[in-house]
Structure 1
Amino acid sequence: MFNAKDDTILNCLVGMYLDVHFVDCCLKVQFQQEYWNRSADNIETIYKFVIPKTCTIGDFYAEVGGRKITGVVQEKGQAQDTYDDALATGQTSYLALQDEDASFNSYTISIGNLPPGQTTKVYISFLSVALNKDGNYVFYLPPELLPDVPTSGCCKIEMSEGVEHVYSTVGNISKEMDRVQWNLVPSNQPIVVSVITKKYSQPKAVLEYDEKTKSKALMITSTPVWQDLNNDLIESQVEVIFVVDRSGSMRGSRISQTKQALNILLHALPPLSRFNIIGFGSSQDWLFEKSQQFCEENIEIAHENIKNTNADLGGTDLVSPLRRIFSQPPDVDYPRIILVLTDGSVNDRPGTINEVRRNQEQCRLYALGISSSVDTALVKGMCEAGRGEAAFVI
């Protein structure tokens, strides 16, 4: 945030309240942010607001001086002109613009002409589908979306399937398991709420009626249950390339978690597969010049490599090893899978995601984010570009 008059950084954000609402597999999340102008002049505050790309902005309004100012949707240029005109006439005005970088959902929020001593509250809500794994619905808010101010909030839970268990990394869970309440969440800690339901595999329908528009919307959800894997799938031939972050930021528990994950993943490979392990930082460390057959001898070589793996390769250049991988044409008989293990602190996030997107026909890319402060925009952006999925070790 800055003062548009003299570019002085001002700490105007003084508090935030987070309102999360589970309704079956749907999520509505509202950020309530309070700003206070401590200076003696009218100011303009500008900040970035990032949400997962799978989310949609649902509402944007503000409260100032007892008035509610509701946002309206306009074409980008028109919205900027409306905001500038309001500033020119001395009115307090609000603007939310979606940034052009398509790698993630980033918005620039502007509050103009906030009077001295004035307090204003900004409300932004978004809609999404909860992550679902075998009836375990998850809300995950990474720490980079939590500003360094007092943050409190609650999560309301409504599940037609019935709730069997609720887990949360912060706050207190009600006895009825229909609410989680939290206060003063540390800014470096993610918020995770996991709701396990009783009858997740049963198809269900939810009908919603809008009194204002007299319209109805029907949502039907069906979750498949996989009993057995097909033997052909188990025996399939694939090429799996593990791309491992060995930069300085991976020191300590992060590199230890990565080595444990590598050993587990290595033994989960199909017997007829090929594999390789590539460490990256400022430089690269390739186990093999090109992927080798899964066999006892190569597995022993890989285990020795993992044992001696350290966070000793300096910076975090992920683009270069990806380019080298993509320069090697894949074998059509061995579909290529790339698995990136990283804390996400790379030098060039947009360039990395674009490199994956340009070569998405070569492979599927999956990623495992390590640590609670992982760059989720990078990890999810790569997986979306690479037609894969992301997972996180918190």
Structure 2
Amino acid sequence: MFSVRKQRETAMSAQTQHRTARDLLAFILLASTLGVATAVVLCGVTLLLAAPAYGAPPGEGTLLLKAAGSEQAFAAPLISTDVTFRVSGPVARARLVQTFSNPQPDWYEGVYIFPLPENAAVDRLRLRVAERVVEAEIRERAAARAAYEQARSNGRRAALLDEERPNIFTTQVANIGPRETIVVELEYQQILRYQDGRFSLRFPMVVGPRYSAAGPLRVADVERITPPVMRPGTEGERSNPVAIHVALDAGVPLESVESSSHRIAVAAPSESRREIALAAGATPANRDFELSWTPRAGHAPQAAWFTEEKDGKHYGLLMLLPPAAAYGARLPREVIFILDTSGSMAGSSIRQAKEALELALGRLGPGDRFNVIEFNSYAQRLFDEAREATPDNVRRAARWVGALQARGGTEMAPAIKLALNGDEGGSDGSRRVRQVIFLTDGCVGNEEELFRLIRERLGGSRLFTVGIGSAPNSHFMTKAAQLGRGTFTYIGRVEQVREKMSELFAKLETPVMKGLEVRWPHGVQAESWPARIPDLYAGEPLVLTAALDKLQGDLQI
């Protein structure tokens, strides 16, 4: 039971903690509460920027310039990229500023594809070209594009921001004048991830190539989710340098702050606050930035309730960590491993994935059954059906996995069909727990088709995604795990494989809390997200956002 009152109830810190977080809640919670409806609406709107221009009409996040009527593009020199985060408790606000220049004596249109976190709520876009500053205006996608095309043909300054996927955005900037400087400023907010006693913030810096099948299965918007590739020999010595600064106010005393992706410099103004920057200053934007922090023992949040009133409505965010599960008898499982062996996994990614899978095979118990599926352009499984995890079968699987190589396309659908059969239990007719572990970089463009397959064929299985590599498709990995009622684990380096997989094993081998329901106080009208409470695994909190007409009474879960 949890009290729903106007003042905040929290076990996280003193009175002034997270003041900034409260100021940000209404915007984030409005989007979160609307859930799927919001996602549909966001896909249909575009940000339009427009201002008059006085020049003649033009006949990894990077800005490519191209002349009117030409398909050839060259990269605008990137002068600087600065990213600033302000973290207050479980909420982060980010400000991204990228400065480009047009060194040419001609007018150009710029095309800018860049990644953002899949749960980012973009609330501001500003464009500065020379001395002019223009702010974003939200319009329906078709209307915004028509206005942009009209402005471009009339020689006016205009920019168009499209959400191609929740984690991929495209900006087009029309009529960039000779030797002008272009500054793109973007701000967003997000709720941070809390898992296994750690908060984490991840900032994507790479838009990886997305695989799309040819012919009738080709994704319609593949060009819009594929970053333009410059011709060999034209890229020069660009390194896409980025500087990152994080102002962290955790609200509780901190035990540690670390980054698994970059070397960082950390200053500690107080026991609950940290100032973090990249140790090397600006660094190449060639891998995602990840930062995590752990509250001091005894100070980890058990419950946090934040509220904000806006326009006569109350918005709330609840984070509740269930009591630690008692370890009982180990339940027999049927575990299906899916390994991505497509060409995008070549190099360190396939080594990480194979090492992770070998560790997983070694954790199988005598009462478990298992199978292994690998896919690239085609999918194949080791056994015709799941087999007992005998020492001989496990050794055979380890040898088979060790011989696999990364090559070919990324046809995920056949592998999902082999792994998910719609059954409620094991393939032998038993009621054993059925778990599917999917190791991939997620570099596909047909996410919606795959999500549909998971919905249709999940049955009683649980799907756990393991993101491999320096820049996996976190939108696909996160949503696939949500639909599969499992969890998402990210492994960025080989050195993390053992730690991350051990944490995942703890979830798989621990009793799960299922069938959770939220009962709002009598007489309170509430719209909450997620509408269906997911299964809870060890070390994971319940995070619930809601819009309410009043704050009174007790919430029961």
> Do structure 1's residue 309 and structure 2's residue 403 form an aligned pair?
yes
Q: Specify whether residues 326 and 205 from structure 1 end up closer, same or farther in structure 2 by C-alpha distance, changes over 3 A only.
A: closer
More divergent stretch after superposition (72-81 vs 326-335): 326-335
Who is 1:166 aligned against?
257
Shift of 1:119: 1.1
Q: Distance in 2 between matches of 1:115 and 1:287?
A: 59
C-alpha distance after superposition, 1:155-191 (max 9, x if no partner): 1101111222111223321243511122222222321
Who is 1:58 aligned against?
123
Q: Distance in 1 between matches of 2:128 and 2:351?
A: 48
Shift of 1:392: 1.7
Q: Distance in 1 between matches of 2:254 and 2:398?
A: 42
Stretches of structure 1 that go unaligned for 5 or more consecutive residues are none
Q: Secondary structure at the match of 2:263?
A: coil
Letter in 2 for 1:166: V
> Do structure 1's residue 204 and structure 2's residue 204 form an aligned pair?
no
More divergent stretch after superposition (248-257 vs 108-117): 248-257
Who is 2:76 aligned against?
12
Which of the numbers 25, 31, 37 marks the counterpart of 2:96? 31
Letter in 2 for 1:171: I
1:365–1:383 Cα contact (<8 Å) kept:
yes
Who is 1:133 aligned against?
195
1:64–1:119 Cα contact (<8 Å) kept:
yes
2:115–2:205 Cα contact (<8 Å) kept:
no
Q: Secondary structure at the match of 1:243?
A: strand
Who is 2:481 aligned against?
383
1:166–1:193 Cα contact (<8 Å) kept:
yes
Who is 2:149 aligned against?
84
Q: Distance in 1 between matches of 2:189 and 2:157?
A: 27
Q: Specify whether residues 82 and 343 from structure 1 end up closer, same or farther in structure 2 by C-alpha distance, changes over 3 A only.
A: closer
Shift of 1:149: 1.5
> Do structure 1's residue 319 and structure 2's residue 413 form an aligned pair?
yes
Which of the numbers 177, 183, 187 marks the counterpart of 2:285? 187
More divergent stretch after superposition (115-124 vs 39-48): 39-48
Who is 1:151 aligned against?
242
Who is 1:261 aligned against?
356
C-alpha distance after superposition, 1:218-270 (max 9, x if no partner): 544333341523x3xx5434321001223455455444433332233234446
Shift of 1:354: 4.5
Q: Distance in 1 between matches of 2:144 and 2:344?
A: 41
Q: Specify whether residues 98 and 143 from structure 1 end up closer, same or farther in structure 2 by C-alpha distance, changes over 3 A only.
A: closer
Q: Distance in 2 between matches of 1:4 and 1:73?
A: 27
More divergent stretch after superposition (332-341 vs 187-196): 332-341
Q: Secondary structure at the match of 1:74?
A: strand
Q: Secondary structure at the match of 1:81?
A: helix
Shift of 1:323: 2.5
Q: Distance in 1 between matches of 2:257 and 2:411?
A: 39
The size of the alignment, in residue pairs, is 385
Q: Distance in 1 between matches of 2:476 and 2:188?
A: 20
Q: Specify whether residues 214 and 21 from structure 1 end up closer, same or farther in structure 2 by C-alpha distance, changes over 3 A only.
A: farther
Q: Specify whether residues 207 and 68 from structure 1 end up closer, same or farther in structure 2 by C-alpha distance, changes over 3 A only.
A: farther
1:274–1:292 Cα contact (<8 Å) kept:
yes
Q: Secondary structure at the match of 2:146?
A: helix
2:374–2:380 Cα contact (<8 Å) kept:
yes
Who is 1:123 aligned against?
185
C-alpha distance after superposition, 1:94-153 (max 9, x if no partner): 221223x6xx44322111112211112111122211121233111122341599522112
Q: Distance in 2 between matches of 1:13 and 1:159?
A: 37
Q: Distance in 1 between matches of 2:347 and 2:159?
A: 44
Letter in 2 for 1:21: R
Letter in 2 for 1:59: R
Which structure has more relative contact order (CA 8 Å, sep 6+)? It is 2
Residue identity over aligned pairs, in percent, reads 21
Shift of 1:48: 2.4
Q: Specify whether residues 154 and 2 from structure 1 end up closer, same or farther in structure 2 by C-alpha distance, changes over 3 A only.
A: same
Letter in 2 for 1:203: A
1:340–1:366 Cα contact (<8 Å) kept:
yes
Q: Distance in 2 between matches of 1:260 and 1:387?
A: 25
> Do structure 1's residue 3 and structure 2's residue 73 form an aligned pair?
no
Shift of 1:283: 4.2
More divergent stretch after superposition (380-389 vs 87-96): 380-389
Instruction: Give the 5 Å matches for 1:286-365.
Output: 286-306=381-401, 308-311=402-405, 314-326=408-420, 331=425, 333-345=431-443, 351-361=449-459, 363-365=461-463
Q: Distance in 2 between matches of 1:248 and 1:83?
A: 38
With normalisation by structure 2, the TM-score equals 0.61
Stretches of structure 2 that go unaligned for 5 or more consecutive residues are 1-63, 209-237, 493-557
